[in-house]
A and B are shown apart, each in its own frame.
Chain A
């Protein structure tokens, strides 16, 4: 198996499993998949799910069932930065439609798509619990709130610079 946690990731995996009683290691499945997704490029190929299954000593189908249920797991490759824009009621009445349209225009992609350079993915999501700071989106672990067109421009620029700095 080529996909494997490195030492640091394996230490984290073991820490996650240790939260649950002996024999109940399946409980660590969600946290373990979160870790796997972060470790293997932001998405979960079948190989990664099979790997997690083998680590937790459960059947692969038990992992597939869970991975396809929860909306945060990406089962297809995504860009380096995923813009998850909330479109539910409170954000909608605060103007999320305009923000979504603006991001589509600026990145030239539709919801669910990734930019050709592989940097950005746009995902429309349901309520993220930031209704008082609407409109908003999540990028990785971070919530970007009170979005305006200017703010969107700045955020896109910020991530582009990050990519440049890495290269």
Chain B
């Protein structure tokens, strides 16, 4: 298949040309904004991911120019490649909105909803997904499932109850480390991520599972309960690391480094380094370099992925591309959050507050009306 061959694909009435072999999801991401389907398990930098969570289901209303028949079922956009002349409906499809609400309900069925004590809150993809596509309450009345606790060592905290089984962390271990020690155990609704025998995960690159986990199932033990992410100031920084690229985002409060993560793009995925490779970081950078003087600070980090809680508080903004024709009854007349200005609804979330740019630590009153503007 030649790289030169371009296919015309239309997503929510916006047409774009992409190389043959591109998935519907990637094509939609090139358009950007609300047209891009949400993805909980797919991760473009990890081979083999996708297809499992079913949040990215879309309707293919026209298969291609050659064979215009619509596809009979909704398809996983992350694993379906475009055909020339294909027409796809994402948020303009009633069926998609309905199916996605169903997937959100299924994902939340056994989820503990312990956001108030979860370190992922504020940057959690499941929070965003639920806010955007979910319903306000649950119809589930049975006991939620629980798991035996597993200790993964001094760096990584596993909360299996929060896991949505995206398998990303397993792909990380397969593709970044030379020996996988955790995996998918059991089956059906008892499936869990575990090591089977108590074992700490020690590989130098295993910390990346924290960055790829879409929910709070795998979190950073060195950051546990230390702070809420939306009180932290993201700063781009680097160091001369013998193991990894050393390019990171520091999450500071004042001058104190609370945590270190890789740099992420607007889809919440690891950014590439200048040499075009994914910028995975090593455990040393992530867990052991917690002093400002370990790092060369480059400047405020533009966090370009919108999130429900953190919306507007970071330096970056994503462009919101609107479909030309939006399905009217989306979410009972409610627009998806990417199209919605949360500041209309909440006084504390002033859009003018740029966390990375305020002097010193941020506090609750940083968000009050009289707070410093960037």
Contacts and interface: CB of A to CB of B under 8 A. Distances in A.
A and B touch in the complex (CB under 8 A): yes
Interface stretch (A11-19, A64-72, A107-115, A153-161): A64-72
A38 interface: no
Interface in A50-87: 59-62, 64-65, 68-69
Query: SS class of chain B's interface: helix, strand, loop or mixed?
Result: loop
Interface in B178-208: 179-187, 195-197
Given A46-B196, A68-B196, A61 B186 contact: no
Query: SS class of chain A's interface: helix, strand, loop or mixed?
Result: helix
A39 B179 CA distance: 28
B179 A65 contact: no
B180 A64 contact: no
A67 to B, nearest CB: 9
Interface residues of B, number: 12
A59 B187 CA distance: 19
Interface residues on A, range: under 10
A60 B197 CA distance: 10
Nearest to B199: A61
B187 A64 contact: no
Contacts of B181: 59, 61
B185 A65 contact: yes
B197 A65 contact: no
A65 B180 CA distance: 12
A61 B199 CA distance: 11
B205 to A, nearest CB: 16
A69 B196 contact: no
Contacts of B182: 61
Contacts of A69: 185-187
Contacts of A60: 196-197
A60 B195 CA distance: 10
A36 B181 CA distance: 22
Interface string B141-155: 000000000000000
Interface string B254-284: 0000000000000000000000000000000
B197 A68 contact: no
Given A46-B196, A61-B196, A68 B187 contact: yes
Given A46-B197, A68-B186, 16 more contacts: A46-B196, A59-B179, A59-B180, A60-B196, A61-B181, A61-B183, A61-B195, A64-B183, A64-B185, A64-B196, A64-B197, A65-B185, A68-B185, A68-B196, A69-B186, A69-B187
Interface of B: 179-187, 195-197
Interface of A: 46, 59-62, 64-65, 68-69
